[in-house]
Amino acid sequence: MPLTLDDRKKMILKAVVDDYIATAEPVGSKSLVSRHQLPVSSATIRNEMAELEELGYLEQPHTSAGRVPSDKGYRTYVDELMEVETLPDDEARIIQDVLRANMAEVTGLIRSASSLLSEQTQYASLALSPKCCKNHLQQIKMLMIEPGRALVVVVLSAGLVKDRMVRIPEMLDSAQLMQIASAIEEGLQGMTLDDITLVAVSAAGKHTPLPDSLLNQVLYEAYVSIKQADNLEVYMAGSNKLLAYPEFADVARAKIALDTLAKEGMVAGYLSETREEADDSTYMIRIGQEIALAGLENCSFVTTTYKFGDTVAGRIGVIGPRRMSYAKVISNINFVRMNLNDQIRRLGAGID
Amino acid sequence: MPLTLDDRKKMILKAVVDDYIATAEPVGSKSLVSRHQLPVSSATIRNEMAELEELGYLEQPHTSAGRVPSDKGYRTYVDELMEVETLPDDEARIIQDVLRANMAEVTGLIRSASSLLSEQTQYASLALSPKCCKNHLQQIKMLMIEPGRALVVVVLSAGLVKDRMVRIPEMLDSAQLMQIASAIEEGLQGMTLDDITLVAVSAAGKHTPLPDSLLNQVLYEAYVSIKQADNLEVYMAGSNKLLAYPEFADVARAKIALDTLAKEGMVAGYLSETREEADDSTYMIRIGQEIALAGLENCSFVTTTYKFGDTVAGRIGVIGPRRMSYAKVISNINFVRMNLNDQIRRLGAGID
DNA sequence: TTTAGCACTCGTCGGTGTTGAGTGCTAAAG
DNA sequence: CTTTAGCACTCAACACCGACGAGTGCTAAA
């Protein structure tokens, strides 16, 4: 049994996947030759397809139906056979324009990149908020809103900013609050987020000449705010677009898939685990069963990473039916990735 | 033709709606008598139902099927017939606990109230962010993040806080930025948001001894931030739960409905328009065609308002199939509304 | 090795008959 | 005048049937 397919088999596999992606219907030998004007007869194709099935690249929904790609079939398709188009100018322009218009802030930038992907590909899209364990605390500010309430602003390296409303003792005034914040900031300057503990925050804050009774609550809230700044968040867009595809014609199946996607934590967890693998290639593809999430068996993920400086910060990608137009999705994702990294770099560098 | 139904007709209408809500299947005369142990025969019910149909309260999907409530039927059901249950203790407890845990900040509070509603009722829920044209600007702060970037924090009356990252000229230092912010704050102190114009902001800011070239960009960003603080936002949750109901068994219909809901702007606009009506009653119900949004013809909205102090600030509610369990939804919504208003009041008053 | 030919498979589609829950109507009983 | 038993009628849902056709595998000849 050959480990690699001969050229004709590759050619046929590619044709089958292409056709199935286009039509969503099992493709037969006869329609294949006519559609692609192959120089051989349908009988030959039949023999080849039978072999491809035996090798696990194709499947038959039932005897006397055409063939459908298996996970393995899709896999070799995306790894070896597919031709990635370059993005049409008009689509490229849209992406560039939208990203440029949203570059005031990282979160908004990523969110809009995600929406863009969904809009352009007509699949669902998702993005993970930037999270980098090597992130440093750069600043922490506390802003008095009214007696008893303050806004804690945490600035991480790479210019990522998060804030959070907290309750503080009513007796604290604005000046004291700022004093505490600077004490913490000084004490933790440059520490990585993982290294920051409640003890460390407390130690830093104790340099302030204030009674513990007032301090403790504030220090605790500061600690929580810092930790929360690094929380993994998910932005998802266009999941209802999936209902347009025939693989979701059955509402029950559709519901299972959408319910799974709605549990953002699950998807986030899954994607963040896969962080390390395949770092060299620009994108990562998970097909069907390769996704270990119940309910997404006939879906595929295509994701890529975006960077802060030169460290990977998060993922952004597309979720669609297994039978998705990988070529189109990948060209979009690559372009978005490039532009996203570009804008983030500019944002960090302060270029307008 | 009588303007009001006699007691027996009311009784029958109520029974039909109750049954249809429970089973999702057209209810016939025979099953009605057996289910409710009515003291009359099915023939009598048939006659009554025929009359109710003639009067427009019931509809027949086809001859020789049972009856289904019409919009008018649902309307009188919710207005006159339905018995609103009081919320079971355990559900009440959950709501109280979750809201209490989220009371650091208004936006989070409302968001969690919305999720709660969806979770408790198993329908979709949505909430509009607080927006009150009589809102005053209370504070505006600008926080230097790094040269060229600043965080603008806008505090409205009632303690609503919004912030936004902006670009500023690189030459500005932290002190200057604070100076500008206080100038704006002083100049606009107590103005309602509607009255604040770019001109007003500029006028307030010009008191600072800085060259126009530096000022203008900052003032513009401040203006945008203030305006944006009052933007209408929508939080939606659980829209995929709708797929569980038989009215959405047809994917095409389901898609239309979900697509409409996904256009958050549309729903927001629709709900905010209905703001004034029915202020006296605690909740507002829109049934089927009463909703003027294409795609939601067999859905219903049940919404209520929440308040900042004593002015209406926003809406929160549930979207479900027309055949929704109004009694359950209303008891949930009322309870959430009460607790939400309570927590908002405490939040404003600084009670913990 | 390729391919024409052929028998076979099986899902789809239209037609047909049955079932059953529902109706409206009529005529008798209360 | 209202109620109700009885009956004929309607119609969606379901199962069954046969024809159709796109597809297959196999065989034997080119």
- Domain shared by B263 and B123, yes or no: yes
Distance of CA A170 to the CA centre of its chain: 42
Write the Ramachandran bin of A319: left for phi over 0, alpha for psi from -120 to 50, otherwise beta: beta
Residue B1 has pLDDT above 50, yes or no: no
Confidence category of residue B85, pLDDT binned at 50, 70, 90: confident
What's the rounded mean pLDDT across residues B195-204? Answer: 92
- In whole angstroms, C5 C1' to A41 CA is 13
- Domain shared by B117 and B260, yes or no: yes
**Domain boundary, last residue among B181, B200, B229:** B229
| B117 three-state secondary structure | helix
Sequence-distant (≥ 6) Cβ neighbours of residue A99 within 8 angstroms = A109, A112, A113, A116, A336, A339, A340, A343
Query: In total, how many domains does chain B have?
Result: 3
B148 with A240: Cβ contact below 8 A: no
- Domain shared by A112 and A248, yes or no: yes
For chain B, the farthest-separated pair of C-alpha atoms sits apart, in whole angstroms, at: 89
What is the percent of chain B where pLDDT is above 90?
A: 68
A139: β partners? A155
The rounded mean pLDDT for chain B is 90
Cα–Cα distance measured from residue B162 to residue B242, given in angstroms and rounded to the nearest whole number: 32
Candidate ranges A11-25, A157-171, B131-145, B308-322; pick with highest mean pLDDT: A11-25
**Domain boundary, last residue among A229, A262, A290:** A229
Instruction: Give the residue ranges of DSSP H helices in A7-88.
Output: 7-23, 29-36, 42-54, 71-76
A104 with B141: Cβ contact below 8 A: no
Sequence-distant (≥ 6) Cβ neighbours of residue A97 within 8 angstroms = none
What are the Cα distances from residue A286, in Å, to A67, A248, A300, A330?
Answer: 21, 19, 6, 13
CATH assignment at residue B268: 3.30.450.40
Query: Is residue B104 less than 8 Å (CB to CB) from chain A?
Result: yes
Residues of B in contact with A163 (CB under 8 A): 151, 153, 163
- Does residue A31 lie within any of the structural domains? yes
Asked if A63 CB < 7 A from strand C, the reply is yes
Task: Indicate the residue type of B242.
Answer: L
Cα–Cα distance measured from residue A59 to residue A77, given in angstroms and rounded to the nearest whole number: 15
Residue B352 has pLDDT above 50, yes or no: no
- Does residue B268 lie within any of the structural domains? yes
Asked if A60 CB < 7 A from strand D, the reply is yes
Q: Name the burial class of residue A198, with classes exposed (0-12), middle (13-18) and buried (19+) by CB atoms within 10 angstroms of its CB.
A: middle
- Does residue A321 lie within any of the structural domains? yes
A27: β partners? A67
- Model pLDDT, residue A253: 92
Q: Domain range for residue B122? A: 89-129+234-349
Asked if A249 CB < 7 A from strand C, the reply is no
- Domain shared by B49 and B99, yes or no: no
A255 with B243: Cβ contact below 8 A: yes
- Domain shared by A146 and A294, yes or no: no
B162: β partners? B154
A307: β partners? A312
**Contact present, A32 and A16 (Cβ < 8 Å):** yes
Residue B131 has pLDDT above 70, yes or no: yes
Pick out chain A residues at pLDDT < 50: 1, 352
- Does residue B1 lie within any of the structural domains? no
Cα–Cα distance measured from residue B66 to residue B64, given in angstroms and rounded to the nearest whole number: 7
- Domain shared by B113 and B256, yes or no: yes
- Does residue A62 lie within any of the structural domains? yes
Q: Which residue in B has a C-alpha nearest to residue A141's C-alpha?
A: B143
Query: Is residue A161 less than 8 Å (CB to CB) from chain B?
Result: yes
- In whole angstroms, C29 C1' to B44 CA is 14
What's the rounded mean pLDDT across residues B16-30? Answer: 96
- Model pLDDT, residue A146: 85
Query: Which uninterrupted H or E stretch holds B182?
Result: helix B174-188
Q: How many CB atoms within 10 Å of residue B154? A: 23
- Does residue B14 lie within any of the structural domains? yes
- Domain shared by A196 and A315, yes or no: no
Q: How many CB atoms within 10 Å of residue B28? A: 18
B145 with A139: Cβ contact below 8 A: yes
Q: How many CB atoms within 10 Å of residue B67? A: 27
CA-based R_g, chain B, Å? 26
Q: Could you say which residues from 240 to 269 on chain B have a Cβ atom under 8 Å away from some Cβ of chain A? A: 240, 243-244, 248-251, 254-255, 258-259, 262
Distance of CA A29 to the CA centre of its chain: 38
- Domain shared by A141 and A190, yes or no: yes
- In whole angstroms, D18 C1' to A52 CA is 35
B350 with A170: Cβ contact below 8 A: yes
Q: What positions of strand C are covered by protein, i.e. any atom < 7 Å from a CB?
A: 2-5, 8-11, 20-26
Cα–Cα distance measured from residue A183 to residue A196, given in angstroms and rounded to the nearest whole number: 15
What is the percent of chain B where pLDDT is above 70?
A: 95
- Domain shared by B199 and B323, yes or no: no
- Domain shared by A275 and A299, yes or no: yes
- In whole angstroms, D3 C1' to B74 CA is 28
Sequence-distant (≥ 6) Cβ neighbours of residue B299 within 8 angstroms = B257, B288, B291, B319, B320, B321, B322
Query: Is residue B144 less than 8 Å (CB to CB) from chain A?
Result: no
**Pick from A276-280, A281-285, B195-199, B260-264: least confident:** A276-280
Query: Is residue A65 less than 8 Å (CB to CB) from chain B?
Result: no
Sequence-distant (≥ 6) Cβ neighbours of residue B74 within 8 angstroms = B17, B287, B288, B300, B322, B326
CATH assignment at residue B28: 1.10.10.10
Q: What are φ and ψ of residue A297, in 5° steps?
A: -65, -35
E strand segments, chain A: 58-59, 68-69, 124-128, 137-146, 149-156, 161-167, 234-237, 283-287, 299-308, 311-321
- Model pLDDT, residue A205: 87
Shortest Cα–Cα distance, B10 to chain A (Å): 36
Q: What positions of strand D are covered by protein, i.e. any atom < 7 Å from a CB?
A: 3-6, 9-12, 21-27
Per-residue model confidence as pLDDT tens digits over B37-59: 999 999 999 999 999 999 999 99
Residues of A in contact with B245 (CB under 8 A): none
| A35 three-state secondary structure | helix
Q: Nearest residue to C9 (CA, C1')? A: A64
**Contact present, B110 and B324 (Cβ < 8 Å):** no
Selecting from B163, B250, B350 the residue whose C-beta is nearest the C-beta of A146 gives B350
- Does residue B33 lie within any of the structural domains? yes
- Domain shared by A113 and A237, yes or no: yes
Helix axes B198-205, B212-229, angle to 10 degrees: 130
CATH assignment at residue A144: 3.30.390.60
Helix axes A89-101, A326-349, angle to 10 degrees: 30
| B128 three-state secondary structure | strand
- Domain shared by B294 and B193, yes or no: no
Helix axes A198-205, A174-188, angle to 10 degrees: 120
Asked if B66 CB < 7 A from strand C, the reply is yes
| Sign of torsion over alpha carbons A18, A19, A25, A26 | negative
**Contact present, B230 and B245 (Cβ < 8 Å):** no
E strand segments, A194-347: 234-237, 283-287, 299-308, 311-321
A55: β partners? none
Q: How many CB atoms within 10 Å of residue A7? A: 7
Asked if B213 CB < 7 A from strand C, the reply is no
Selecting from B153, B155, B255 the residue whose C-beta is nearest the C-beta of A240 gives B255
Q: Name the burial class of residue A93, with classes exposed (0-12), middle (13-18) and buried (19+) by CB atoms within 10 angstroms of its CB.
A: exposed
- Does residue A1 lie within any of the structural domains? no
B240 with A251: Cβ contact below 8 A: no
Tell me which residue of A78, A133, A158, A161 sits closest to A333, measured CA to CA. A78
- Model pLDDT, residue A10: 96
Rounded to 5°, angle at Cα A175 from A173 and A178: 110
**Domain boundary, last residue among A159, A194, A229:** A229
